[in-house]
């Protein structure tokens, strides 16, 4: 067999190898070099900050309602223009 020297070497390897991996891969240098850019690329920070104050919430709600109404009017005007070009849904040709 290998003797006590081999047993000490194996024990040292088994104990310090996982610790070494944790120190290397868990350190901030490794994170900044290999992980931080990928996290930012796949999970960008939100573009819209959710309001928390009561006045801000009401203002945001009014902006959303105005934008929705504007989109609805644009959609209706587009559909009316298409219907006028085609002669309308109930027109006979």
Residue range 61-75: mean pLDDT, rounded: 95
Domain boundaries, the chain: 1-45, 47-87
Burial tier of 8 (Cβ tally within 10 Å: 0-12, 13-18, 19+): exposed
The pTM of this model reads: 0.41
Yes or no: say if 27 and 36 are a contact pair by the CB < 8 Å rule: no
Task: Provide the mean pLDDT of the chain.
Answer: 86
- Comparison of pLDDT for 20 and 91, the residue scoring more: 20
pLDDT category at 69 given cuts 50, 70, 90 is: very high
Residue range 81-87: mean pLDDT, rounded: 76
Cα dihedral across residues 79, 80, 85, 89: positive or negative: positive
Using only C-alpha atoms, what is the Rg of the chain? 33
Residue range 19-39: mean pLDDT, rounded: 86
Is the pLDDT at 90 greater than 80? The verdict is no
Q: How far apart are CA 59 and CA 65, in angstroms?
A: 10
Residue range 80-93: mean pLDDT, rounded: 68
Residue range 30-46: mean pLDDT, rounded: 77
Is the pLDDT at 91 greater than 60? The verdict is no
């Amino acid at each position: 067999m290998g003797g006590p020297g081999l047993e000490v070497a194996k024990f040292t390897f088994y104990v310090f190898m996982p610790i070494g991996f944790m120190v290397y891969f868990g350190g901030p240098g490794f994170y900044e070099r290999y992980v931080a850019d990928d996290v930012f690329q796949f999970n960008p920070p939100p573009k819209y900050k959710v309001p928390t104050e009561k006045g801000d919430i009401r203002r945001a709600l009014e902006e959303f309602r105005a934008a929705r109404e504007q989109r609805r009017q644009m959609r209706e005007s587009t559909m009316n223009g298409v219907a006028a070009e085609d002669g309308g849904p109930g027109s006979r040709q």
